Every structure is written in structure tokens, then in C-alpha cells.
Amino acid sequence: MHKPRATDFALDIAADLQKWRSFVAIGELGSLTRAALFLDSNQSFLSRQVNALERECGTRLFNRTGRGVELSEAGQRLFPQVKDLLERAQALEHDIRADLREPVGTVTLGSLPSIGTILTGRLFSAVRARLPGVSLKVLEGSSGQVEEWLTDARVDIAILYRYAPTLPEGEEALATVDSYLIGPRDDRLTANGQVPFASLDGLPFILPSAPNGLRTALDAGARHARIALAPVIEADSLPLQKQLTAQEGLYTVLPLHAVWQEVQEGRLQAARIVEPPFQRTVALAFSRSKGPSSAVTAVTGHIVRIVGEMATQGMWRS
């Protein structure tokens, strides 16, 4: 099996950039005295640095003149390369410090379609306005796909539904979400705003196929309530679930935020499932193989803020 190898940089003479900074300053100013003032140092220290460099290089780098010093032939050949090295080192230092002050980089978010549809637009607007150095990459998929992306470190942040009363270690609860029975316009069953879980018995459902977190939780709830959930069609597509519910008189189960616009426009109706309530937690998870960068931390802050704003609109409880 191939073993990774580190790059072997053989640095000796070029290892101390401060000495070469002195070399460039003396070469540009032509005087140890002026270079000492510029570098806030003293002339004897710079003289020792030059002597040390010349010993390491095995050649004279400066010629002493009555007016000061000037680069020797060898010094002239080295000067542009050394100055370029220092300029690139300075640019790297600026980049490092800028990254610490202002988040930069790409943040990959993995989410379920029912969350991403309502959240991503707001998040993009916030990141674009307040984090100019950060770009977003969004992946949408089933709960199993998002879990896989999280494990494989394909995403930095994942937003998932959790149906258990406790969250896996390291995850953070963003909101508690009620589940709603979604029906077509003018449907009697969903007209009252609430519906007992037992009323789901035998309805013509369009539901996601197993394995799926919602489907697994619904099937478990149905077994406990001793009712039958027999979908007439299975579809993992959120748009298709909403379309067939509206057009074919079917039912589905979704959080209110997933159908917020359709309910506001009167194309669908939603009744909160009660007796017992059927709830889920919106959870925030991070890739364990990556330490959260400043960009990830900044984007997470905006996610938490936006979720809180959506709670005040009645989409969920923060």
C-alpha cells in the first residue's frame, strides 16, 4: 500500500527571512546606517547579519565604498530573487491574517429539500450581503444521502430532521417542527386546522419510500396507533408530493414550512397532527473530519438567526 510522503524542503541559507529582509533594505538604500533606521535596528547588528549571510553563501554580497555599500555582482544576481521571495511571503502573511479577520472560502451545506427550499434563499442573501469572502455550495438530498455526505465530509454543515427525543452527540437543535396532514383545497379533513393521528387511517397517501426518516417514524406511529398507512403512490420528490396532493386529491405529511407558500395562496390545506402530536427536530450537524473554519462558523450564525426569524413567522418553534 502506498504511504504518503511529506514534501522535503531543504532550507538552510534561505530559512531566515529576516536576514534577507536586511539584505534587501541595505541593497535598496545603499547604507547600513539608513537601513538600520528603516528597520528600527542598529548598524552593528546589520553588519553581523551581512557577514553571516556572506559566510553562508560563500561569496561577498556587498562592496564597501567611501559613500556606503553597493551590491556586488553576486548580490545583484540574488537581489531580484530574494525580493520576489519576500514579496510572496508578505502576500501569504496578509492572506493568513485576512482569513483570521474576515471569513473566506466555500461552505458546503447539505439539507433536505423541505428545509432547503425555504431556508437557502434567505441564507444566500445574508451571506452575499455580510460575508463577501464566502461562497455557498448547496446539496439537497434524502436524509440518507445527507447523512452519507456528512460522514464522507462532502458537506461542512448538514441540516437534518431527527425524530428521536435526544439528538446524536455533537448535533444542535435548531427548532421543533410539528407535522401536518396536507390535503387539497376545500378538503374537509384538513379544514379545521387540527386532525387526530388516528384520522390518517386508510387515507390515499403520497409518501416517500423507505428508508426515509419521515416514513419510518410514520410507520412506527401507525403500528402504535393500530391504523393502516397504505400510500397509493410513493415518491421522494417534494414538488411531486405537493403537485399530486393538489391535483389528485391525495394526502401527504409535511412540516408547515414545506408548504408555506402553497397554503398562503390557497392551493393546499394543512392541519396539525395531534393526539398525539407528531413532531420532529431540525438539527444542525458538522463534519467531524473537518474543524469548523471561520467561514463555517459565520454561516452557522446566519442559519441560527434565520431559523429564529422563521419561528416568529409561525413556521416552527425555535
pLDDT in tens, 141-184: 888 888 899 888 899 999 988 888 888 888 899 888 899 999 99
What would the pLDDT profile of 91-144 be if each residue is shown by its tens digit?
A: 787 777 665 667 888 999 999 888 887 888 899 999 999 998 899 999 998 888
CA 151, 154, 157, 163 dihedral sign is negative
d(CA 87, CA 92): 9
User: Residue 10: pLDDT band by 50, 70, 90 thresholds?
Assistant: confident
Specify the 3-state DSSP secondary structure of 243.
helix
At 245, is the pLDDT very low, low, confident or very high (cuts 50, 70, 90)?
very high
Q: Name 206's Cβ contacts closer than 8 Å, sequence gap at least 6.
A: 231, 232, 233, 234, 235, 240, 241, 244, 245, 250, 251, 252
For 3, counting Cβ atoms within 10 Å of its Cβ (0-12 exposed, 13-18 middle, 19+ buried), the class is exposed
Q: Could you give the percent of the chain with pLDDT greater than 90?
A: 45
pLDDT tens-digit profile of 206-240?
A: 998 887 778 888 999 999 999 998 899 999 888 99
Nearest CA to 18 out of 47, 49, 44, 40 is that of 49
> Which residue carries 549571510 as its cell?
53
**63 φ, ψ (degrees, to nearest 5):** -110, 130
DSSP SS3 for 187: coil
Report yes or no: 190 and 182 within 8 Å, Cβ to Cβ.
Answer: yes
Q: What are phi and psi of 303, to 5 degrees?
A: -60, -45
Q: Are 194 and 274 in contact (CB under 8 A)?
A: yes
- Locate the DSSP E strands across 156-249: 157-162, 172-184, 194-196, 206-207, 233-234
Q: Degrees (nearest 5) of the Cα angle 27, 28, 31?
A: 65
